[in-house]
């Protein structure tokens, strides 16, 4: 894990422990993630993050709204995958970013408890994930 990733992880854990974020934490995350973090905060502020949880397993995936006029929704796992174009272009192919704005929004919403909870059966969740 890179120093940036370790720093970010420590900040996420601090936020999660208090369910609030300080100006210093916002500054650190902005330094690490730049404009993607600014965009992620807007998504969270607009209640654009859903956590879809399977019952009874408790497994979950995030569904995060995009910022375009079409308001697409992308499925993502906060730490390692997003179905958006930027994830494949900027992160996987070019290695220019650590993660996309949707992953950051999911992680911030999870740390703050600021997501919309949607409960489905494990079977429904499996069907949803099979479409990725």
**Residue pLDDT, tens place only, 85-97:** 888 888 787 777 7
Residue carrying the six token digits 């220019």: 96
pLDDT score at 131? 82
* Contact predicate 60/124, CB 8 Å: no
C-alpha 128/C-alpha 119 separation (Å) is: 13
Q: What is the dihedral of CA 13, 31, 41, 15, to 10 degrees?
A: 20
Q: Is this structure's pTM higher than 0.85?
A: yes
Residues 6 or more apart whose Cβ sits within 8 Å of residue 91: 97, 98, 99, 100
**Residue pLDDT, tens place only, 99-117:** 899 999 999 999 999 999 9
Residue 1's pLDDT band, with cuts at 50, 70 and 90, is low
* Contact predicate 79/12, CB 8 Å: no
C-alpha 32/C-alpha 40 separation (Å) is: 13
Question: Among 28-42, 48-62, 78-92, which stretch is predicted with the lowest mean pLDDT?
Answer: 78-92
pLDDT score at 71? 75
Tell me the average pLDDT across 14-31. 96
Counting residues of the chain whose pLDDT is more than 90, the rounded percentage is 73
Counting residues of the chain whose pLDDT is more than 70, the rounded percentage is 98
When divided into structural domains, the chain yields a total of 1
Is the pLDDT at 80 greater than 80? The verdict is: yes
Is the pLDDT at 69 greater than 70? The verdict is: no
Residue 52: give the domain boundaries.
3-130
């Amino acid at each position: 894990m890179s120093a940036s990733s370790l720093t970010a992880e420590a900040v996420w854990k601090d936020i999660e422990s208090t369910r609030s974020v300080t100006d210093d934490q916002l500054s650190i995350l902005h330094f690490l993630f730049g404009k993607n973090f600014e965009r992620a905060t807007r998504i969270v502020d607009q209640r654009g993050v859903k956590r879809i949880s399977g019952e009874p397993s408790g497994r979950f995936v995030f569904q995060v709204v995009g910022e375009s006029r079409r308001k697409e929704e992308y499925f993502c796992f906060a730490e390692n995958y997003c179905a958006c174009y930027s994830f494949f272009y900027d992160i996987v192919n070019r290695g220019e970013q650590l993660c996309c704005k949707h992953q950051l929004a999911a992680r911030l919403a999870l740390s703050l408890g600021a997501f919309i909870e949607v409960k489905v059966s494990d079977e429904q969740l499996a069907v949803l994930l099979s479409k990725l």
